[in-house]
Structures are given as C-alpha cells and as structure tokens.
Amino acid sequence: MIAIIAILAAMLAPVAVAARKAVDNSIASRTGKQLFTAVAIYMTDSDDTYPVAMYTGPDRFLVLWFGHQTAPHEFDRQAGIISPYIKGFLQADPTHHARPYLGDGTGFGYNYGFLGSDFSMTGDYSHWPDCWNPASNSMLAFPSQVVTFATSGYFNAPWIPNGDGQMYDFGFIDPPSGWNGNPNVDFRHWDQRKIDTVNHKVTTTGRAVTVFADGHLKSLHETEIQDANFRRDGEEIR
C-alpha cells in the first residue's frame, strides 16, 4: 500500500506543480489587466496621455507611477500617479521574490523610456529623474505591439560593482537593447533564470506576463520581445 501511494504521489507531483504555476500566471495576469485599466482611465482624464514614470515632488522625494517615496526603498502606494485609479492595493505576483528597491512589490514594471517619458528616444538624461514628454495613444504606430507593463525585477549581478547576486523590486522596464545581458523584464514564470558568471549573462527559458497598449496580455519568452515592442514609432512586427 505504501509503495502504491508513493507511486501515485510521484505521478501527481508534476501535475500539482504545473497547476500551481498556472494559478500564479493567472494571478499575475489579473494584476497586469488592472494596471492597464488604471492607466486607461487615467488617460481619459489626461488628454489621452500616458502617466509620466516619475518626477521629483515638492518634498524632494520621488513621485512615481506606483507611489510616493517616503524614505529610501519605501513608498506610499496610495499616493502614486495612477493610485487614484486603482481601488485598494494590487495583488502581487506570487512568483516575485525580491528585496525592496524601486518598486511597489507587485513585480511589474512600466515602459518608462518610451511611454512614461522620451528618455529612450532622445538619450538626454540631463533632467533625470524628472520624466518629460510622455506619449499619447495617437503617437503609437502599432498599439497592439507596444509593451506598457511587464513582470520585472533588477538582478544585481555579481559581476556588477557591488553586485550581491540578489533580485530587487524594480518598477521599470527597458527594451532588449538596454538589457546588456541582464534583462529587467523578468521571465520568471514557468522557469527560473540561469546565471552565467563566466560570460556575464542572464538567460531563461521562462516567460514574462506582458501587457500591451491595446489592453491584451501575452506570456512571452525572452526571444519573443523586440526593441520595436517598446517604441512609439516601432516597425510593424509580423
């Protein structure tokens, strides 16, 4: 009897793991959809313009899309730029395990350089961290292909000065050309990242929950995301 139970447990274990991963993906997708809805409502009140990613408030602390900084690595999530359009708190992605840094704990990042500002278009960071010239929907050549939010995180790689090999909460995402072998879009669903300390590269066969400007969501592999998915004027991806 014990042997039979052991065999059944071994057979059912992979099924249970797959079911847990599917539930986690569903929870993250729901949070991503809520983020899109909040931004869409914000835009109806703001001349169809995306929220700026962040700016320096009168108190000299940062006001970000997700919250108002109150101390280093601490944020009031009820006082962010899109917070009035979110009822309560967003549920965190259950697969997001990270130290406090520059995020709200949900595990999602915003396309700050092309939608929440024009930093990535102009290359002018002289007024950092104050974001200027956010995009409007009319500027997007292909809204169904432009990433608005995605699961995110900052891996403080051991080959970086002061790198401790830990993952940190990070509310912003860059296109692949800005990853330098260390994506801040976090492909943590369905698999784990692999750290190549010899070649200084982070790879994964996992997937990222990705929210697009027309409201649809996709679970994408690292190879399925291109620079054009971030740009306002990106070429059509076929």
- Domain housing 78: 19-229
- Is 179 domain-assigned? yes
Q: How far is CA 46 from CA 40, 52, 80, 93, 106, in A?
A: 10, 11, 15, 28, 25
Which of 121, 76, 78, 74 shows the shortest CA–CA distance to 101?
A: 74
- Is 44 domain-assigned? yes
* pLDDT: which is higher, 4 or 107: 107
- Is 5 domain-assigned? no
Residues of the chain with pLDDT > 90, as a percent, come to: 82
CA pair distance 105, 98, nearest whole angstrom: 8
- Is 29 domain-assigned? yes
- Answer whether residue 63 shows pLDDT above 80: yes
- pTM summary value: 0.91
The string of pLDDT tens digits covering residues 198-219 is 999 998 889 999 999 999 999 9
Q: Is the dihedral of CA 140, 144, 146, 149 positive or negative?
A: positive
Centre a 10 Å sphere on the Cβ of residue 199 and count the other Cβ atoms it contains: 8
Number of separate domains in the chain = 1
- Is 14 domain-assigned? no
- pLDDT band of residue 5 (cuts 50, 70, 90) is low
Q: What is the pLDDT of residue 2?
A: 66
**Weakest-pLDDT range from 8-22, 68-82, 143-157:** 8-22
Query: Amino acid identity of 82?
Result: I
Q: What is the pLDDT of residue 13?
A: 47
Mean pLDDT for the chain overall: 91
Q: What is the pLDDT of residue 89?
A: 84
Beta-bridge partners for 219: 209
Query: Amino acid identity of 231?
Result: R
Q: What is the pLDDT of residue 235?
A: 66
- Is 194 domain-assigned? yes
The string of pLDDT tens digits covering residues 20-44 is 767 788 899 999 999 999 999 999 9
Residues of the chain with pLDDT > 70, as a percent, come to: 89
- Is 3 domain-assigned? no
The string of pLDDT tens digits covering residues 74-98 is 999 999 999 999 987 899 999 999 9
- Is 103 domain-assigned? yes
